[in-house]
Amino acid sequence: MKKEVSMVSIQLNENRHNLLIGVIMVILAILFLLYMGSSMVRSTKAFWEESNIERLLQ
């Protein structure tokens, strides 16, 4: 009986560990997407400020 309780305890610890790693990976993915979006907006803004649309149309 004690061995079964020990196995259940190990299983719960593994599940908790996997859940924690999953949550950390989701947070890192969201931060990465926010960083990439911010970088794209910044570079697009710099491009439009650098080149006038009137000059491009001529």
Distances, alpha carbon 54 to alpha carbons 24, 48, 50, 57, in Å: 47, 11, 12, 5
Q: Which residue has the higher pLDDT, 57 or 6?
A: 6
- Model confidence band, residue 25 (pLDDT cutoffs 50, 70, 90): very high
Domains of the chain, by residue range, sit at: 2-57
- Model confidence band, residue 4 (pLDDT cutoffs 50, 70, 90): low
In the chain, the percentage of residues whose pLDDT exceeds 90 is 48
Q: Which residue has the higher pLDDT, 40 or 11?
A: 40
- Would you say residue 44 has pLDDT above 60? yes
